[in-house]
C-alpha cells in the first residue's frame, strides 16, 4: 500500500533530484501514531517503509504526508501488531538496511528480537516516558483512560526486556535518556531531537499581529494565550482553565486559543465552568501551513503538562519569538528555563501559572529579553535539518559497521 498525497509532477521532480548513490532502506515501525513531520523528514533522507499499528480512534499519521514512501497498516491490537511486525521483518529481511522502531513497547521488543535473527541494525526512537505518562491516569481519571496497576507493571517489564536486548536508543531529550537508563541495559544512547523545528516556517512575525489575527479568525482586541497541550492524562488542561478563570476574574482581557483532536472535551469543560465565551477551540491545524501563524498571532504560549518527554510546542513558539510558560516537568525543564528562555511554574499550580502570564503581560521588555534567548536556544539546538543530519549520521554509521547498505553522502 502506498500512502501519498503528492502530484505526479511532484513525484517526477523528486525522482530527478534523487542522489546517484542509492539511499539507505529504512523501515520505521510505529505503535502509537506519529507526527507528519517525522515521516516527511525520514522520507527526505531514506527509502522509507512505514509500518503502523491501526489506530481505531485516531490516525496513524497526524496529517497526510506530502512525500513518497511505502505504507503498511497492521492490526490494531498491540500484541497482534508486535507479532505482525516480527513476521513482516522476517519475510522482508533482505529489503531493509535499518529498522527504526517507535518507543520501548511490544513492537520494539519484537523488532529487537528479530534483529538478532536478521542482523539488521535496529534502534528505538524514544519520544515519551511511557510509565510516567501512564501513571498520570491514576490522578486524572476524567481523561477517560483507565489505570490498572498490573498494566503499568507489564509496561515496566517490557521496557526492561527491551533494555537488555537493545542495540541503540535514540532519544529526544536528556530526560528521556535518564528514563531509558533507569531500565538497565548497556545500549548506546544518542540525543536526536527529531523532528526538530523548521526555522524557515517557524520564525518571528514579519507582518503585524493585527493582520495575523484577522487571517486566523482571532478577536482583534485582547491578548491571545495559545494553549498548546493536547487533551490527554499527561497534559494538564484543568490547571490552564483554572488559571484563565483567575485572570478573567481579575479583569484581564484574554482569549484562550486551543487546537487539538480533543478540543470538544476541552470546550465542554470550559462551558461547565463558565468561560467558554473566552475560548477559541478547533481541531489540530496543519503544522506547516497554519500552525506557525497561530503562534505568531498569539501573545503567549502555555504548555501545561503533568509529565513531558520534550515538548515541541514551546520550542516552536520560541522560534516564533513568542513568550513561553511551561510546567517544570520532564524535558520541558531543558528548554523553558525560568528567568532565561521563559517562565515555569510547579505542575498543577493554577495561581502560579496565572502569575507567570501576568508577568509577561505587565513587563513586555522582560518578555522580549527571554524570548530572544529562547529563539537563540532553538537555533542552536533544534533546527530540523541538524536533527535529521544527526539521525542520518547515526544510521549510516550503524549500517557501515554492520555491512548493510551504502554510506550516505
Q: Give per-residue pLDDT as tens, 241-298.
A: 999 999 999 999 999 999 988 889 999 999 999 999 999 999 999 999 999 999 999 9
To 10 degrees, what angle do helices 78-91 and 106-118 make?
A: 20
Domains of the chain: 8-196+384-402 (3.40.50.2000), 209-380 (3.40.50.2000)
Residue 397 has a pLDDT of: 96
Kindly provide the residue ranges of all beta strands, DSSP E only, lying in 117-203, ordered along the sequence: 122-126, 169-171, 189-191
DSSP state of 152: H
CB 349 within 8 A of CB 326: no
Question: What are the CA-CA distances from residue 4 to residues 11, 34, 37, 39, 46 (Å)?
Answer: 10, 16, 14, 11, 16
pLDDT at residue 14, as a whole number: 40
The pLDDT of residue 324 is 98
Question: Distance (Å, rounded) from C-alpha 46 to C-alpha 108?
Answer: 20
Residue 57: per-residue pLDDT: 83
Q: Which residues contact 124 (CB under 8 A, 6 or more apart)?
A: 101, 102, 103, 104, 108, 111, 112, 162, 166, 168, 169, 170, 180
Has this prediction a pTM greater than 0.75? yes
Distance CA 206, CA 213 (A): 13
Q: What is the pLDDT at residue 142? A: 59
Task: Enter the C-alpha cell of residue 316.
Answer: 516552536
For residue 296, give the 3-state DSSP assignment. helix
Residue 39's nearest CA partner among 20, 13, 64 is 64
- The sign of the torsion formed by the CA atoms of 27, 33, 38, 44 equals positive
User: Which stretches in the chain have pLDDT values below 50?
Assistant: 1-19, 407-409
Q: How far apart are CA 124 and CA 176, in angstroms?
A: 12
Q: Which cell is 76 given?
A: 490494531
Q: What is the pLDDT of residue 113?
A: 94
Place of cell 478577536: 219
Longest dimension (CA), the chain: 66
Number of H helices and E strands in the chain, helices first, is 16, 13
- As beta bridge partners, residue 125 has 102, 170
Instruction: Give residue 8's pLDDT.
Output: 32
The pLDDT assigned to 124 comes to 97
All cell numbers assigned to 102: 517507535
> Are 270 and 238 contacting, i.e. CB atoms less than 8 angstroms apart?
no
Amino acid at each position: 500500500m502506498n500512502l501519498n498525497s503528492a502530484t505526479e509532477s511532484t513525484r517526477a521532480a523528486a525522482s530527478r533530484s534523487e542522489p546517484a548513490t542509492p539511499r539507505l532502506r529504512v523501515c520505521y515501525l510505529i505503535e502509537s501514531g506519529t507526527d507528519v513531520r517525522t515521516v516527511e523528514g525520514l522520507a527526505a533522507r531514506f527509502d522509507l517503509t512505514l509500518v503502523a499499528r491501526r489506530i481505531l480512534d485516531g490516525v496513524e499519521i497526524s496529517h497526510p504526508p506530502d512525500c513518497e514512501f511505502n505504507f503498511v497498516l497492521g492490526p490494531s491490537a498491540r500484541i497482534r501488531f508486535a507479532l505482525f511486525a516480527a513476521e513482516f521483518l522476517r519475510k522482508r529481511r533482505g529489503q531493509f538496511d535499518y529498522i527504526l522502531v517507535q518507543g520501548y513497547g511490544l513492537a520494539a521488543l519484537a523488532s529487537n528480537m528479530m534483529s538478532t535473527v536478521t542482523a539488521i541494525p535496529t534502534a528505538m526512537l524514544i519520544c515519551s516516558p511511557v510509565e510516567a505518562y501512564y501513571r498520570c491516569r491514576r490522578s486524572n481519571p476524567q481523561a477517560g483512560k483507565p489505570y490498572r496497576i498490573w498494566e503499568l507493571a507489564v509496561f515496566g517489564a517490557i521496557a526492561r526486556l527491551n533494555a537488555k536486548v537493545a542495540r541503540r536508543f535514540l532519544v529526544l531529550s536528556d530526560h528521556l535518556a535518564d528514563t531509558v537508563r533507569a531500565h538497565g541495559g548497556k545500549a548506546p544512547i544518542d540525543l536526536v531531537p527529531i523532528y526538530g523545528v523548521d526555522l524557515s516556517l517557524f520564525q518571528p512575525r514579519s507582518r503585524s499581529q493585527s493582520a495575523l489575527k484577522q487571517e486566523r479568525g482571532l478577536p482583534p482586541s485582547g491578548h491571545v494565550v495559545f494553549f498548546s497541550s493536547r487533551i490527554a492524562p499527561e497534559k494538564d488542561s484543568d490547571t490552564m482553565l483554572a488559571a484563565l478563570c483567575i485572570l478573567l476574574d481579575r479583569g484581564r482581557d484574554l482569549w484562550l486559543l486551543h487546537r487539538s483532536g480533543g478540543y470538544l472535551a476541552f470546550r465542554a469543560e470550559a462551558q461547565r465552568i463558565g468561560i467558554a465565551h473566552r475560548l477559541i477551540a478547533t481541531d489540530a491545524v496543519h503544522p506547516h501551513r497554519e500552525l506557525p501563524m497561530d503562534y505568531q498571532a498569539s501573545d503567549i504560549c502555555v504548555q501545561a503538562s503533568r509529565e513531558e518527554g520534550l515538548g515541541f510546542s514551546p520550542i516552536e513558539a520560541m522560534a516564533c519569538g513568542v513568550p513561553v510558560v511551561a510546567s517544570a516537568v520532564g524535558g520541558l525543564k531543558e528548554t523553558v528555563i525560568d528567568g532565561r528562555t521563559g517562565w515555569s511554574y510547579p505542575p498543577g499550580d493554577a495561581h502560579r501559572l496565572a502569575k507567570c502570564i501576568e508577568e509577561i503581560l505587565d513587563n513586555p521588555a522582560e518578555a522580549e529579553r527571554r524570548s530572544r534567548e529562547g529563539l537563540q536556544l532553538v537555533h542552536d539546538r533544534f533546527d530540523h535539518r541538524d536533527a535529521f543530519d544527526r539521525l542520518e549520521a547515526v544510521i549510516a554509521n550503524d549500517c557501515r559497521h554492520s555491512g548493510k547498505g551504502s554510506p550516505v553522502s
